């Protein structure tokens, strides 16, 4: 049986240590925190100059040719210089922990850019609830807790795992890939319509289930590529009747890699999650998730002002929340008169946009959260 730890250790990303070292040379705080990239992880099996790492930060460092990822490592270096340390970002192999830590990083960067001092709290917490950090400046002290919920979490993780494993197969081929996930059966044995609900599928895609799917596909693809005659062009289908989904993967135009790293790109289609009103999804997010988080009171009582910052970059609602028609609908659940679920009283909810996501900010006085 594959344990969660061993599965994450097998989900490695290919990277060029020379290129990473060159980028780190201009990041004086991040470079010593990470160490020598030539010693990170293990050597690639087929790419002589490449290495493989399971740490999430190396998925970023290996792709800083994308502007938003280069800006991310610059933000990390800036926050380290400002005294904000977030060890999870540097060491975690778990995508969820990494996303949550990045949300904290962006929040800390916001305060540091405005000349606040930021003191991490979460790294030394015991059993008592504490905020992620306390920001002090301009005569104000703010206790900040950052929350990063994800829509259809199990399904989103499956899609991300599929992309990662296909792009980082340690095989000597370049290729374009196309992944399609579809519903297998549309009717029951007695001809009743089977409706697809992404929430039900996401709940069924537990870590153990996802591991069995991803590792099976990874091993099958590697074997198919090894047997392929046309330089790695393969097609495969995998079915999970217990989940009522089928996964089809095509690797096209495959050819032998000649670079230090392979060249791969592609798309993942389905299953459809459309048809759900974004204002309804946001209401559910606030009532079922955000208010529960606020009720824990992790930021309450630690400073004169307590703030719960909700990072919605993983919520699949970013475009709608920035739309002038949907924003008023999204603010209603955050106001005191929004109904009986008023465990926390919010004031001045606002949405802000940053590259890659949207953040909602809710402020609380220490007496608001009981």
pLDDT in tens, 152-179: 889 989 999 999 999 999 999 899 999 9
3-state secondary structure labels for all residues of the chain: CCCHHHHHHHCCEEECHHHHHHHHCCCCCHHHHHCCHHHCCEECCCCCCCEEECCHHHHHHCCCCCHHHHHHHHHHHHHHHCCCCCHHHHHCCCHHHHHHHHHHHHHHHHHHHCCCEEEECHHHCCCCCCCCEEEEECCEEEEEEEECCCCCHHHHHHHHHHHHHHHCCCCCEEEEEEEEEEECCCECCCCCECCCCHHHHHHHCCHHHHHHHHHHHHHHHHHHHHHCCCCCCEEEEEEECCCCEEEEEEEEEEEECCCCCCCEEEEEECCCCCCCCHHHHHHHHHHHHHHHHHHCCCCCCCCCEEEEEEECCCCCCHHHHCCCCCHHHHHHHHCCCCCCCCCCCCEEEEEEEECCEEEEEEEECCCCCC
pLDDT mean across residues, the chain: 83
- Tell me the pLDDT band of 289, cut-offs 50, 70 and 90: confident
Of 239 and 195, the one with more pLDDT: 239
- What is the model's pLDDT at position 104? 94
Average pLDDT of span 125-145: 86
- Tell me the pLDDT band of 129, cut-offs 50, 70 and 90: confident
pTM passes above 0.85: no
Of 3 and 154, the one with more pLDDT: 154
- What is the model's pLDDT at position 285? 73
For the ranges 89-103, 134-148, 244-258, 355-369, the lowest mean pLDDT is seen at 355-369
């Amino acid at each position: 049986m594959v344990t969660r730890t061993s599965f994450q250790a097998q989900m490695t990303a290919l990277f060029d240590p020379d290129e990473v070292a060159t980028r780190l040379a201009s990041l004086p705080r991040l470079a010593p925190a990470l160490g020598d990239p030539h010693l990170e992880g293990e050597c690639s099996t087929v790419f002589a100059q490449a290495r493989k790492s399971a740490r999430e930060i190396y998925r970023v460092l290996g792709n800083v040719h994308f502007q938003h990822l280069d800006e991310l490592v610059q933000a990390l270096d800036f926050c380290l210089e400002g005294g904000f340390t977030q060890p999870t970002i540097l060491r975690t192999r778990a995508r969820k922990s990494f996303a949550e830590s990045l949300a904290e990083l962006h929040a800390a960067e916001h305060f540091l850019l405005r000349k606040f001092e930021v003191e991490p709290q979460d790294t030394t917490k015991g059993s008592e609830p504490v905020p992620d950090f306390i920001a002090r400046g301009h005569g104000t002290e703010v206790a900040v807790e950052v929350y990063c919920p994800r829509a259809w979490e199990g399904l989103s993780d499956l899609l991300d795992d599929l992309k990662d494993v296909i792009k980082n197969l340690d095989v000597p081929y370049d290729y374009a890939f196309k992944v399609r996930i579809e519903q297998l059966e549309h009717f029951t044995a007695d001809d009743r319509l089977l409706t697809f609900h992404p929430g039900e599928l996401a709940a069924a895609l537990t870590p153990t289930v996802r591991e069995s799917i991803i590792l099976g596909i990874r091993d099958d693809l590697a074997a198919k590529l090894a047997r392929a005659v046309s330089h790695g062009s393969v097609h495969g289908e995998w079915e999970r009747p217990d989940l009522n989904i089928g996964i089809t993967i095509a690797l096209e135009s495959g050819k032998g890699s000649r670079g230090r790293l392979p060249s791969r790109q592609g798309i993942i289609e389905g299953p459809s999650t459309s048809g759900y009103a974004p204002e309804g999804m946001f209401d559910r997010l606030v009532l079922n998730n955000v208010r529960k988080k606020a009720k824990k009171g992790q930021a309450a009582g630690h400073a004169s002002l307590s703030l719960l910052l909700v990072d919605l970059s993983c919520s699949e609602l970013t475009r709608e929340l920035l739309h002038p028609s949907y924003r008023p609908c999204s603010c209603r659940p955050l106001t005191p008169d929004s109904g009986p679920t008023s465990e926390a009283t919010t004031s001045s909810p606002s949405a802000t946009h940053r590259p890659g996501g949207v953040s909602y900010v809710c402020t609380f006085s220490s007496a608001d959260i009981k």
